[in-house]
Structure 1
Amino acid sequence: MSNRRRWEIDALRGLMLMLMTLTHLPTRLSEPFGQPFGLVSAAEGFVLLSGYMAGLVYGRAAVEKGVAAMRRAFSRRAHVVYLCHAALLLFLFTVIALIGIRVDEPAVKNLMAYYLQHPLDALVGGLILIYQPPLLDILPMYVIFMLVSPWALVLALRAGWAPVMAASLAVWLLAQFGLAQWLYEAVAAATPLPVPYAQTGSFHVLAWQFLWMMGLWMGASRHEPEPAPFTFPNSAVAIAAVAALVCFVWRHAVGQVPFPGNATLNLLFDKWHLGPLRLLNLMALMVLVIRFGPWLASHLPRLRFLETLGAASLAVFCAHLVVVLLTLSLFGAQQDRAWSVDVPLLAVALSSLYAAGWLTLWLEQQPPGRLARFFSGWLRQKPTGQ
């Protein structure tokens, strides 16, 4: 397989990142761009696509360089993601905490309430991926996925993907019935774990791992000697189209909460547990993208802005969190400001994301040692006039 980038995958990931930014940034666009394609959010698509790219890239490493090289590559990436999470956590606990307290902004104080009450426990718990404040609970999930993926790939190479996906599906099913809380209570009973269960993150990793594993399988399967194409019978495509259309109309007619006032039924579409109907909605959209995506990619103009965001997804994701946290600390969480404030805010946010992506890709293209030589030479230069 060629080492060229899959620009269409980068564009899709860039779209997911832009939608996440528009959703998290407190503006008038937050509500309409939240779950715009149905009762499913950009996060699900981003995790699935990230798993696919991981399977594509690290699956190639396993085939061409061996399992040991694949393990090292996953470990390096997990280390980078962890460092990004630690940096964002310290940014939240220092810069954002200082601004939020000085401005007395309730949105920020509520977001980090546990840290303000128990700073040491929060710091230690955050660095060991147990305490996960809102918005900072996605990268810890990625670290876990990166550490587990080599074992899944090795098992798949030896026994096929059927047992891997069956186990993943079983874990997702158990997660719907409280497996995560049961495991937390078991650990809390055996150890002095100070972080409450409610502060361990909104995303239930045991449920969301199914999306990652599905993407990992789809990406890694492209390196099989004769990979089966991703095709679906016309009847399946028709059913997916009907399901996607129903959920799309439902979301925009009723709102992001499918069953207002009925908490039990809303669990079927629950985001944090990745409820069964939400998963079906995502699968319907996936079938349609696989079926019609190639045609669209060949007929629509390439959106370089989105490709840049997707190609440098980790840096762009971190930049989006920095922008969102700064906005919350300075402007609060209200979404009814004047357009004269929201438009410049959105422009600065999206420009920041593109700048982070462009700079990351530019740095990656520089020859080894060139930047070090440039900065050392620049530091040796005398100021003008001396």
Structure 2
Amino acid sequence: MTTDTLRASGSSSGLTELIPTSWIYTDTGSTRDLRLDFMRGFVIPLLFASHFEYFSALMFIGWERIGVVSTAEIFVILSGIVVGMVYGKKVKKDGLSAAMPGLIQRSVSLYRISVVMILIVGAIRYIPWIDSSVITTFHDPYGGNTYQLYPSLDASIFQVISKALLLQIGPHQFQIIGMYVVMFILITPFTFFMLHSGRAKLLLGLSWVIYLINYGMPESSSGSAAIRLTGAQFEYAFPILAWQLIYVHGVAAGYYKQALLAFFMTQWGKAILYASIALSIGFMVFTFNHPLPQFPAWAQLHLVPADVFNQLYNEYFQKYKLGVGRLLNAVVLFISIYALMTRCWQPINKALGWLFIPLGQASLYVFFIHVFLLLAIANTPLPGYDNFWLNTSIHAGLIALVWVLVKKEFLFKWIPH
């Protein structure tokens, strides 16, 4: 899609006429879309806000403040789109069999890095002067329970290795990578087969059927997914039957990217875009009513009573089962941000592209590194929730450190990126 086409697409809107055409993103047709890299990079600070739980300025964005969405939904959608674009181009040109070696290689790489992470953290537990509980346990702030994510220290080494190979243990901050492993191995080849054979509607229909079956299943006694297809640890937070929905649709969106962009130039497409922007704003207003005690009164709205908000949140916005409200929020927010970045790319890129694009292009590396940074911070006498400005400095310093490591390609030879 050319810049001229994009300019023409916005010429009928009074709003877009206020935006200089020189700001528009130039799509060269390459599988490298810097807007997607930027969005993945933007999610990295939100990841730090989620996992380095020191209350800081990042929380005013990261703790579901731009909508009832988390880093996970955005990462999965983006991953699906990139897979659909990169491998889909190969499938269209040379057929599914030609793309399979690349898919298998990526699956092996993701699986290897997951097992390596699990075993490294498992070994760290035996170092007596290191408190590894931040990455070897999970504390449920709502239920008040703490769960051990590894066998006891006196467990057999073979038991640890067995569970590691089955992805049944490991840091919860890294478990989403385990979901990617299963997505690549079990779902991606079938998805491309259906797309390549012209059965996209059937594929998406099956994806919805699986999602709805899972959504209607009663929860387990622990409050997690009733069906854990693989038995892996990540399915407590990211059950495959639910999260396959946004991954499969992401792959399809990447596969049909040019057709989708052309659709959004039509009257129906523009109507969906404007509706997405309106809904995104509505979800943002809604989430500002979240009765989180950490936020000051001036940062909260009180349009929705706390008990009503909690009831709606528990019914429609649960993260582990990908509630329908959260699902809709993630989709409309993605459409809105992508449209904004397309129309205002040049100033956005000039202001923050230097930071977010490198982080986005090395997101797997950042996922790996941040676990050990989290361990390091947890073993220093740094504050918890008692010093806002120092906490903000910690977060900013960690992001700067990761950015430098990425730019210097530190350990890129050994850590996939």
TM-score by length of 1: 0.79
**Contact 1:107 1:332 (8 Å CA) reproduced:** no
Does 2:254 align with 1:219? yes
Counterparts of residues 71-110 of structure 1 (less than 5 Å): 71-95=100-124, 97-98=125-126, 102=129, 107=134, 110=137
In structure 2, what is the equivalent of residue 126 of structure 1? 164
In structure 2, do the counterparts of structure 1 residues 236 and 108 end up closer, same or farther at CA, with 3 Å as the change threshold? closer
Does 2:395 align with 1:346? yes
**Contact 1:108 1:329 (8 Å CA) reproduced:** no
In structure 2, what is the equivalent of residue 14 of structure 1? 41
Alignment deviations for residues 170-203 of structure 1 (CA, whole Å, 9 cap, x no partner): 111122123895544x99xxxxxxx8x9885322
Q: Matches of 2:368 and 2:279 in 1, distance apart?
A: 34
In structure 2, what is the equivalent of residue 45 of structure 1? 74
In structure 1, what is the equivalent of residue 314 of structure 2? 266
Moved more, 120-129 or 255-264: 255-264
Calculate the aligned-residue CA RMSD, in Å. Answer: 3.3
Superposed displacement of residue 343, structure 1: 4.7
In structure 2, do the counterparts of structure 1 residues 198 and 14 end up closer, same or farther at CA, with 3 Å as the change threshold? closer
Q: Secondary structure at the match of 2:174?
A: coil
Counterparts of residues 314-353 of structure 1 (less than 5 Å): 314-330=364-380, 334-337=384-387, 339-340=389-390, 342-353=391-402
Counterparts of residues 47-196 of structure 1 (less than 5 Å): 47-95=76-124, 97-98=125-126, 102=129, 107=134, 110-111=137-138, 113-117=148-152, 119-120=155-156, 121-147=159-185, 148-178=187-217, 183-184=227-228
In structure 2, do the counterparts of structure 1 residues 260 and 77 end up closer, same or farther at CA, with 3 Å as the change threshold? farther
Match of 1:285 among 324, 327, 333: 333
**Contact 1:13 1:309 (8 Å CA) reproduced:** yes
Superposed displacement of residue 348, structure 1: 3.8
Moved more, 29-38 or 226-235: 226-235
Superposed displacement of residue 160, structure 1: 2.5
Does 2:279 align with 1:239? no
Q: Secondary structure at the match of 1:137?
A: helix
TM-score by length of 2: 0.73
**Contact 1:132 1:201 (8 Å CA) reproduced:** no
Superposed displacement of residue 363, structure 1: 6.0
Superposed displacement of residue 344, structure 1: 4.9
Alignment deviations for residues 277-302 of structure 1 (CA, whole Å, 9 cap, x no partner): 11111122123234333112144343
Q: Which has the higher helix share?
A: 1
Moved more, 270-279 or 154-163: 154-163
In structure 2, what is the equivalent of residue 252 of structure 1? 288
Q: Matches of 1:69 and 1:253 in 2, distance apart?
A: 50
Does 2:50 align with 1:23? yes
In structure 2, do the counterparts of structure 1 residues 329 and 273 end up closer, same or farther at CA, with 3 Å as the change threshold? farther
Superposed displacement of residue 75, structure 1: 0.9
In structure 2, what is the equivalent of residue 191 of structure 1? none
Letter matched to residue 250 of structure 1: F
Superposed displacement of residue 273, structure 1: 0.8
Q: Matches of 1:204 and 1:309 in 2, distance apart?
A: 27
Q: Secondary structure at the match of 1:5?
A: coil
Letter matched to residue 287 of structure 2: R
Task: Using the aligned pairs only, state the percent identity.
Answer: 20
Moved more, 321-330 or 301-310: 321-330
What stretches of structure 1 of length at least 5 have no aligned partner? 188-194, 365-386
